[in-house]
Structure 1
């Protein structure tokens, strides 16, 4: 670590990232400050505040019912698009007030849009699509803050599957000599493999893919057995007391079509719907498994799918370091199984790199929102159907739109900007280099 000396940066943006998983259970917040001397210089990131709030259960139920009904009513979709925007706007304002933040200091809100329908592998009569709701204009109107939403539709427009861009993981963790991986274990599992640097800087051959279910089934089973009193398996304690039924694990992974697809591939609720958790519970209970055994078995499905993905698709089995993030990054039943299969790999949570493991998705959204507003392209993952660099995100002007655009014009002169080449993570005024 080293001290940071700031000249007056040309770009100085404060962005509030709002993230929510496909379970639609909660909203994560990350208030970030981005500073950059000019478009060719490193971007300095400082996480100012982060937190979480639960989404209203009635809202969650209505969203899940809509998905299960497969959009029988256009009126229902349009209505939920607006009221979800209202819910995110209210949550943002509550976060701002609770943390004593001066709202006028926030330049942008960058918000998750909820996936409601996606076709990543279109048939001959279909079009690849990713349809999402969470009206950015409502968020901007209610908060007065310029808002960016719906990033993935831009990726689909250039022929990709609408998966999160992996820029942040690669920029944060790339290393001169080590193959690193960043594994997210939230509702859906995903990994970014980051090869050693090339020509003294970031190697553009990093690549990203979804690994399968993350904690979506584990959390559903926990809610089932605790009648909703517990949201997740805290420290893996329930699963730790159970025995894994290997036959159920093997049957699930061998029979599910997602695990037989090659990369690039992306997963969503259409692949791993929550109702599958209850089918697994029923099958396990028919075999006489206890609740602890069921949790252990479902947890192993997540862990096994991660390990299998690495064995099939990692650029080398000599993975030097693995960084875990997301809600199940701290579940020892998953971590220990990965470690057993990759005994020479050092495993950390993303906290070791100066980023709270639970805040990574909201920070990524904040970075994407900043890129969209300043007109900066982002890299696509190696192995994607197309590597066209693109600007993603839909901008909804807020009351501060004029001030935001003035900052943008001073920085980029109205030109399309190249992707970020280097990211500097600043924690408590110190630079975290992550190059040990």
Structure 2
């Protein structure tokens, strides 16, 4: 089956769209990336999304218009890619997260915009979306959701591995060796904390919006990190919560970065020192979570997401995670730039088959269940059509 996966992450830097060929059933699948690209949001739409993530208010009428606008932007991303690949059988759309609240004594809540029904209509392709709500209803965090893909495609017979995503928020999947008894029951995962979000916010502030990221971490690499500041930041309760746990821009927000900047004032950091400190904080938050929660150290750590292109961040991760080998998922058959888009294509494929999409040990759900809501295409005679 040919499936498109779509996601715009917490960095809101564009819509990642990937077209993949998938064969097989359940975990015994093969996945081939045909094409992938990142399609930028219209500037005004991106600004509105970022404002809302930062706490701006809007009316219900404005909310409805925004939901439709995001769906239209996702449909345009599909059209751009299918102009290269030809038509597809199914779409899996994560949508755009506006709000994520992990469970705290009750069911959690997570809101993704970009209506699946609208996307199915505009593309004339069956669409699966709203992946997080079923896991939340089963008592889970609704995140991270990439772990079952990691389990299917990136586990190893004899070595323990960590698959570390570095999107706006960082998340990890721990994969024990497949030869270990009951190995699938010992898969773990959680959100590790900031990925690119604080760095990208800082770059935008330092350049007055002229840059949205630091290519390769070149600017940060010129500075010296302030370790006392990082030790202080790592005292935040999130870093000491045991998994399963998830987070987002609700915590690691512009307000959070502003507080970090206030904390930094007595140290008189240069811009390069400020970026080096945020980079080291990101790397140490990952290493700290591994030391705190892994049953054994990984032999290999595979990086994915936009942060895997930040050379300086990768170097700091390799330093703190030694003696583990640090590489990217590209070395093992999964393009790190489109891994999450690929994941939602596969989650849609599993939902179409009726197979589970979550890993309860990762999300905290009571059971493994199919994820996502299916939106069929309504034919000209008013009936539903299937792929």
Could you tell me how far 1:339 is from its partner in structure 2?
A: 2.3
User: What residue is the counterpart of 1:14 in the other structure?
Assistant: 2
User: What residue is the counterpart of 1:380 in the other structure?
Assistant: 359
Runs of 4+ aligned structure 1 residues displaced above 4 Å come to: 199-202
Could you tell me how far 1:200 is from its partner in structure 2?
A: 8.6
Task: Find out whether 1:182 has 2:163 as its counterpart.
Answer: yes
2:240 corresponds to which of 249, 257, 260: 260
1:66 corresponds to which of 52, 57, 74: 52
Q: Secondary structure at the match of 1:227?
A: coil
Structure 1 pair 31/316, CA: closer, same or farther in 2 (3 Å)? Answer: same
Confirm or deny: 8 A CA contact 1:15 1:33 kept in the other structure: yes
What is the rounded CA distance, in whole Å, between the counterparts of 1:199 and 1:243 in structure 2?
Answer: 42
Confirm or deny: 8 A CA contact 1:146 1:399 kept in the other structure: no
Question: Counterparts of 1:15-54 in structure 2 under 5 Å?
Answer: 15-36=3-24, 39=25, 42-54=28-40
2:98 corresponds to which of 108, 116, 120: 116
What is the rounded CA distance, in whole Å, between the counterparts of 2:45 and 2:27 in structure 1?
Answer: 43
What is the rounded CA distance, in whole Å, between the counterparts of 2:173 and 2:27 in structure 1?
Answer: 24
Task: Find out whether 1:391 has 2:383 as its counterpart.
Answer: no
Could you tell me how far 1:145 is from its partner in structure 2?
A: 1.2
Q: Secondary structure at the match of 2:218?
A: helix
Task: Find out whether 1:362 has 2:350 as its counterpart.
Answer: no
Structure 1 pair 289/16, CA: closer, same or farther in 2 (3 Å)? Answer: same
Could you tell me how far 1:324 is from its partner in structure 2?
A: 0.6
What is the rounded CA distance, in whole Å, between the counterparts of 1:73 and 1:40 in structure 2?
Answer: 42
Question: Counterparts of 1:387-426 in structure 2 under 5 Å?
Answer: 387-398=366-377, 402-404=385-387
What is the rounded CA distance, in whole Å, between the counterparts of 1:138 and 1:342 in structure 2?
Answer: 44
Structure 1 pair 40/62, CA: closer, same or farther in 2 (3 Å)? Answer: closer
Task: Find out whether 1:328 has 2:328 as its counterpart.
Answer: no
Confirm or deny: 8 A CA contact 1:18 1:30 kept in the other structure: yes
Identify unmatched segments of 5+ residues in structure 2.
Answer: none
Confirm or deny: 8 A CA contact 2:150 2:173 kept in the other structure: yes
What is the rounded CA distance, in whole Å, between the counterparts of 1:68 and 1:240 in structure 2?
Answer: 29
Structure 1 pair 177/127, CA: closer, same or farther in 2 (3 Å)? Answer: closer
What is the rounded CA distance, in whole Å, between the counterparts of 1:162 and 1:384 in structure 2?
Answer: 6
Task: Find out whether 1:142 has 2:122 as its counterpart.
Answer: yes
Confirm or deny: 8 A CA contact 1:17 1:30 kept in the other structure: yes
Question: Please, what TM-score do these two structures have when normalized by structure 2?
Answer: 0.92
What is the rounded CA distance, in whole Å, between the counterparts of 2:198 and 2:327 in structure 1?
Answer: 24
Structure 1 pair 40/261, CA: closer, same or farther in 2 (3 Å)? Answer: closer
What is the rounded CA distance, in whole Å, between the counterparts of 2:26 and 2:269 in structure 1?
Answer: 58
Structure 1 pair 14/296, CA: closer, same or farther in 2 (3 Å)? Answer: same
1:273 corresponds to which of 231, 234, 253: 253
Structure 1 pair 240/40, CA: closer, same or farther in 2 (3 Å)? Answer: closer
Q: Secondary structure at the match of 1:334?
A: helix
User: What residue is the counterpart of 1:291 in the other structure?
Assistant: 271
Structure 1 pair 201/108, CA: closer, same or farther in 2 (3 Å)? Answer: farther
Could you tell me how far 1:40 is from its partner in structure 2?
A: 7.2
What is the rounded CA distance, in whole Å, between the counterparts of 1:376 and 1:247 in structure 2?
Answer: 47
Q: Secondary structure at the match of 1:358?
A: coil
User: What residue is the counterpart of 1:412 in the other structure?
Assistant: none
Q: Secondary structure at the match of 2:234?
A: helix
The worse-fitting range, judged by mean Cα deviation, of 388-397 and 304-313 is: 388-397
What is the rounded CA distance, in whole Å, between the counterparts of 1:66 and 1:335 in structure 2?
Answer: 31
Confirm or deny: 8 A CA contact 2:107 2:136 kept in the other structure: no
Structure 1 pair 370/315, CA: closer, same or farther in 2 (3 Å)? Answer: same
Query: How many pairs are equivalent?
Result: 382
The worse-fitting range, judged by mean Cα deviation, of 112-121 and 200-209 is: 200-209
What is the rounded CA distance, in whole Å, between the counterparts of 1:109 and 1:74 in structure 2?
Answer: 27
Q: Secondary structure at the match of 1:312?
A: helix
Confirm or deny: 8 A CA contact 1:221 1:281 kept in the other structure: no
Confirm or deny: 8 A CA contact 1:66 1:77 kept in the other structure: no
Confirm or deny: 8 A CA contact 1:25 1:57 kept in the other structure: no
Structure 1 pair 41/90, CA: closer, same or farther in 2 (3 Å)? Answer: closer
Task: Find out whether 1:102 has 2:86 as its counterpart.
Answer: yes
Aligned alpha-carbon RMSD (Å): 2.1
Confirm or deny: 8 A CA contact 1:210 1:266 kept in the other structure: yes
What is the rounded CA distance, in whole Å, between the counterparts of 1:118 and 1:81 in structure 2?
Answer: 16
User: What residue is the counterpart of 1:81 in the other structure?
Assistant: 67
What is the rounded CA distance, in whole Å, between the counterparts of 1:342 and 1:143 in structure 2?
Answer: 44
